[in-house]
Amino acid sequence: MNYNENTSWGRAFIDSIANIVPTFGKILVVMPVTDPNFNRVADIVKTDPDGVVRLYATVAAAYTAATTNQNDVIALSAYGTHTVTEMLTVAKNRVHFIGLDGGGRLTAQGAKIQMGVTGVATDLATVLVTGVRNTFRNIKFINDSTTDESLYGFIDNGEGTLIENCSMVKTAGLDNAGWANFWMAGDSLTMRNVVLGQSNIPSAVAHYGIFIDGKTGGATDGTVKENFLENIYVNMSVSTAAADTACFVKVADGSALNFNNVIKDLNAVNFVQAGTGTIMTDAVLGAATVGGYLHLIRPSFMGCTGVGAGTGEGIYISNSVAPDANGGLGTELTD
């Protein structure tokens, strides 16, 4: 069979990627030589006539080759794990990362990006997004670092980020208080069909599925705003000592939110492990707000005794589970 990029299987391969991310940018493939498809793919995405390399051994190398604002596509092979030796900071704009595993998964994506122990305090997460309108599809992000400051699976501090059919998990350093699978710190995020965390990794310190707080240095003013999430699964296992401090969603303080932020169909589950596990006190923890709002539409919380710690925090819930003349009228989150 001909593996030329312009004919037969080669043409079909290029077109399949273009159909997922229809852009005019370059297609940059990340695939180690150990991948069973390496030789075929190498024939298709070899250096082009302009001298641009199209095949890379690491995600970091492919990202370095991507051009900001050109809508380049970084396609990750789904065989094995793509290791980053430091936090991958996506500061460029309009770069699109996709995992080539067929797509559509909520969890166990074939394309994985993992960071191990770096010992560097600034390696906060496996990926930090600070650019504009970047995309992540069909990828599992794993932070396996025990470095004290490395507390997050993924940080979105960008503008207009799209995250779809991904999962994010922190698997090590779970004795460091304040860790979270996802830190939402950006502006105008679209995130759908995402799983945060694993229920087979218990933790006895304060930790969260989603941590919400502003973060400087990105394409935002430092305040979380206009973010829209739907069909999000938070998967946790809380040990007894963290009953009052762990939660599915944590709003850091009263100035963390601005304008409207929405999570629709939040499916949050705390697995109470026999002997060491506990039912959480509250599903969502916040603080007296001075900025914006967090609206939870049709959420479900399992493995906790209360929904929220109190009123006045700018967190509202709407859940039409029974006929109601007022429909899905929102009310403040309380127990």
Topology of domain 78-332 in CATH is Pectate Lyase C-like (2.160.20)
Domain range annotation of the chain: 1-77, 78-332
Query: pLDDT tens digit string along 33-78?
Result: 787 777 666 666 666 666 666 889 999 999 999 999 999 999 999 9
> Strand, coil or helix: what is 8?
helix
pLDDT at residue 162 in the model: 98
pLDDT at residue 164 in the model: 98
Give per-residue burial for 183-207: e unless 16+ CB within 10 Å, then b: bbbbbbbebbbbbbbbbeebbbbbb
pTM listed for this prediction: 0.89
107, amino acid identity: T
pLDDT at residue 290 in the model: 76
pLDDT at residue 116 in the model: 97
pLDDT at residue 332 in the model: 64
pLDDT at residue 1 in the model: 46
- Does the structure show a pLDDT above 60 at 221? no
- Does the structure show a pLDDT above 90 at 180? yes
Query: pLDDT tens digit string along 110-143?
Result: 999 999 999 999 999 999 999 999 999 999 999 9
